[in-house]
Structure 1
Amino acid sequence: MPEDRTEQPHIVTCTAPVNIAVIKYWGKRNEDIILPINSSLSVTLHQDQLKTTTTVATSRSFQEDRIWLNGKEEDITHPRLQSCLREIRRLARKRRNDGDSGVDSASLSHKVHICSVNNFPTAAGLASSAAGFACLVYSLARVFGVEGELSGIARQGSGSACRSMYGGFVQWIMGNKEDGKDSLAQQVEPETHWPELRILVLVASAERKPVGSTSGMQTSVKTSCLLKHRAESVVPGRMVEMTEAIRKKDFAAFAELTMKDSNQFHATCLDTYPPIFYLNHVSQQIISLVHRYNKHYGETRVSSFYSDIMGEISGHWTLFIYTYFFIKGLPVNCASLSEELKQGIGLEPMPKGINYIISTKAGPGPRVVEDPTQHLLLSDGFPKKTM
């Protein structure tokens, strides 16, 4: 039976940010509701450079729930998608039953149309995107009139999505309860706390990772002795140290902790059987360059670490960039390099290395887009043809 497009649906559009973990999350103790084996901490990147945009529409004329991602219709029955939809609808029904007049009783039975686009590489689809699930949950909550703590729901879509529910510097507390009610994200400091901090995202490849995060974590939990040691004996102390470094805006401590944790993450991947390799040759060159640069100046000016979306370098001072014409985002002051510096760090060109660079900073959490012209769905609740 064809869908009736005559009724005007209720439409909401929101955006949500990417986050980059500086204390890594790797490994689950519960796969179904995504409970981690250790806490983690991240920086939320600014949405002016990196974000997901999601439009959600509800209407009694819709025959079924549907979702479009980056212009292509996807399977709405994906278990993690269904978990987020189910939880938001459950909370909306609870609010209605509690007598909340802000919840439209009729809309609770309506199907939804969801359209989402990312302005960053997403070779593995929505399931790989923390920003995607954070935006989905935030948008659904606005449509169904759900308020309050949402990071626990976002977590059930993608673990690190819970951290994208807040801006600035965010920790994901692993929690101890089996139902996951205490496994939530909390803001450590807002995005305004450290305005000097800059993040340079060096995009070496936008291709799908050779081993997905979900399967990689499962294998590591089963086979890596180092992972168990890391979760129980290393991360708890690092979470305290990293929080202190952020609050004091101590870049040297922040950078060293970030790099050490990244190193241990990759060591855990190598300790997995069979081993997992996430660093490519370009990533290794960048890491080596960062350490040579810091050694040349006798202090930690730049940090390097790996992200499961892409590789990046984070610097308190502007990192010298000799490929400045590839930079997108915030302006970067490009300085000429002295021969002494070139020789001191052994600077060499990296052909076919970095595709482009995104310059950004810490930014806010999810927000509503008030301009109706920015909706990804037309007034009938279906995607724009230009997508």
Structure 2
Amino acid sequence: MVTWGKRNEELILPINSSLSVTLHQDQLKTTTTVASSRSFQEDRIWLNGKEEDITHPRIQSCLREIRRLARKRRNEVDPSLDSTGLSHKVHICSVNNFPTAAGLASSAAGFACLVYTLARVFGVEGELSGIARQGSGSACRSMYGGFVQWIMGQRDDGKDSLAQQVEPESHWPELRILVLVVSHAERKPVGSTSGMQTSVQTSCLLKHRATSVVPGRMGEMIDAIRRKDFASFAELTMRDSNQFHATCLDTFPPIFYLNSVSQQIISLVHRYNRHCGETRVSYTFDAGPNAVIFSLQQHVPEFLQLVQHVFPPETNGGQFIRGLPVKSTSLPEELKQAIGLEPISKGIRYVISTKAGPGPCVVEDPAQHLLGSDGLPEKTV
């Protein structure tokens, strides 16, 4: 379930609660290395191979809060702890292995990883989702694995606007997730932050959604997940995605995150479910054209064959299906005819096959670390 709109921009407090699934790091991940040294002259950060401005308010907010908690821990819990490291500058290097700023929650993964890593460096323990939220709202959910809700909270200071795990990643092992990366998915034409601001100011539908729809839908969604009721889960997911994009259209001027390929994917899902006589797949779209498809493991091979029929892989596009292996199967001729969609060239660049995964974890292999002994970027992953 998408969260869209904030009641407090500085603290990143949402106008409604939301729910997400943390994707498995074996397929989609952000890798972050943080080094702290007295020899560093200033804080620095590199993202996807390029040095960025570390004075960005959201990055500074995370750094400030982690350092504050580290000082508090030393003063209140264990005054004997060495405090010299608290004044050291840090070098941060972070890399995504999936498209950035394309509606695939790259900022959520990035800030969750950043806060978790900073906490390890500075010896901070306990609840961290509130700090991650101040970097990117959705990052608070990414601090946990599996199925996670972001409770909007009621306090003005945001201390009760936190993430909570609904079920762990092991809860629904049959659930599979397919990320359909659209061929011409460029950076979002309207960033999420500015888009939310405009929607809050101009969309009547957004207000109705937040107050009258989402509270009940959250309960229904959590119940469907706990019962592993795929049909209910799938329909709620699609309805919520549709309504989110309806609020974008209700925004003035309207915001368009979906493109023609996104619309074809939606049509394909509904035609396939109708042909099967049951809901076997569902879609959701964040603020971008790339689709996230949910299905059960036994239905993935056939649906992926259908995807390849409607969106033929590009001959020079590399591996089309990446991630978790999918069994090959033949596509019945009657299914092709029943779907009735003509093949669309250059529609989908590739598909990532994945499942629910854990929250942030430590990379033990030194060969995977992104900073060298001099504190400068060493490699990308």
Question: What is the TM-score when the length of structure 2 is the normalising length?
Answer: 0.92
Q: 1:124 to 1:330 in 2, by over 3 A?
A: closer
Pairing 1:26–2:4 present: yes
Structure 1 equivalent of residue 65 of structure 2: 87
Structure 2 equivalent of residue 168 of structure 1: 146
One-letter amino acid of the structure 2 residue matched with residue 113 of structure 1: H
Pairing 1:272–2:255 present: no
- 8 Å contact from structure 1 (residues 321, 334) kept in 2: no
Structure 1 range deviating more: 134-143 or 365-374: 365-374
- 8 Å contact from structure 2 (residues 102, 287) kept in 1: no
TM-superposed CA distance for 1:352, in Å, is 1.1
Q: 1:112 to 1:124 in 2, by over 3 A?
A: farther
Structure 1 range deviating more: 179-188 or 327-336: 327-336
Q: 1:170 to 1:126 in 2, by over 3 A?
A: closer
- 8 Å contact from structure 1 (residues 127, 157) kept in 2: no
TM-superposed CA distance for 1:321, in Å, is 2.0
Q: Deviations over 1:17-55 (max 9, x none)?
A: xxxxxx110000000010000000000000000010000
User: Which residues of structure 1 form unaligned runs of 5+?
Assistant: 1-22
Structure 2 equivalent of residue 374 of structure 1: 368
- 8 Å contact from structure 1 (residues 69, 126) kept in 2: no
TM-superposed CA distance for 1:313, in Å, is 1.4
TM-superposed CA distance for 1:215, in Å, is 0.6
Structure 1 range deviating more: 211-220 or 332-341: 332-341
Q: Deviations over 1:123-158 (max 9, x none)?
A: 479995110000000000000000000000000000
Cα distance in structure 2, aligned partners of 1:284 and 1:125:
15
Structure 2 equivalent of residue 321 of structure 1: 304
- 8 Å contact from structure 1 (residues 25, 40) kept in 2: yes
Structure 2 equivalent of residue 20 of structure 1: none
Residue 311 (structure 1) aligned to one of 277, 280, 291: 291
Q: Deviations over 1:300-354 (max 9, x none)?
A: 0000110236322111231522338610000112321112111111142121100
TM-superposed CA distance for 1:99, in Å, is 3.4
Cα distance in structure 2, aligned partners of 1:164 and 1:150:
11
Aligned residue pairs total 365
Structure 1 equivalent of residue 210 of structure 2: 231
Runs of 4+ in 1 over 3 A off after TM superposition: 101-104, 123-128
Structure 2 equivalent of residue 346 of structure 1: 340
Residue 330 (structure 2) aligned to one of 333, 336, 339: 336
One-letter amino acid of the structure 1 residue matched with residue 60 of structure 2: Q
Q: 1:126 to 1:346 in 2, by over 3 A?
A: closer
One-letter amino acid of the structure 1 residue matched with residue 85 of structure 2: S
Cα distance in structure 1, aligned partners of 2:274 and 2:103:
39
Question: Residues 39-54 of structure 1 correspond to what in structure 2 (within 5 A)?
Answer: 39-54=17-32
Residue 250 (structure 1) aligned to one of 229, 240, 251: 229
Could you say what secondary structure the match of 1:368 adopts?
coil
Structure 2 equivalent of residue 216 of structure 1: 195
Q: 1:330 to 1:267 in 2, by over 3 A?
A: same
Q: Report % sequence identity.
A: 81
Cα distance in structure 2, aligned partners of 1:104 and 1:250:
52
Could you say what secondary structure the match of 2:303 adopts?
coil
Structure 1 equivalent of residue 186 of structure 2: 207
One-letter amino acid of the structure 2 residue matched with residue 237 of structure 1: G
Structure 2 equivalent of residue 3 of structure 1: none
One-letter amino acid of the structure 2 residue matched with residue 298 of structure 1: G
Cα distance in structure 1, aligned partners of 2:86 and 2:72:
11
Cα distance in structure 2, aligned partners of 1:372 and 1:210:
38
One-letter amino acid of the structure 2 residue matched with residue 74 of structure 1: E
Structure 2 equivalent of residue 5 of structure 1: none
- 8 Å contact from structure 2 (residues 20, 141) kept in 1: yes
Cα distance in structure 2, aligned partners of 1:46 and 1:102:
39
Q: Deviations over 1:185-241 (max 9, x none)?
A: 000000000000000100004410111111110000000000000000000000000
TM-superposed CA distance for 1:386, in Å, is 6.6
Cα distance in structure 2, aligned partners of 1:244 and 1:85:
37
Structure 2 equivalent of residue 6 of structure 1: none
Cα distance in structure 1, aligned partners of 2:244 and 2:267:
17
- 8 Å contact from structure 2 (residues 370, 379) kept in 1: no
Cα distance in structure 2, aligned partners of 1:69 and 1:103:
32
Q: 1:124 to 1:110 in 2, by over 3 A?
A: farther
Q: Deviations over 1:75-95 (max 9, x none)?
A: 010000000000000000000
Q: 1:346 to 1:227 in 2, by over 3 A?
A: same
Q: 1:328 to 1:101 in 2, by over 3 A?
A: farther
- 8 Å contact from structure 2 (residues 4, 15) kept in 1: yes
- 8 Å contact from structure 1 (residues 290, 303) kept in 2: yes
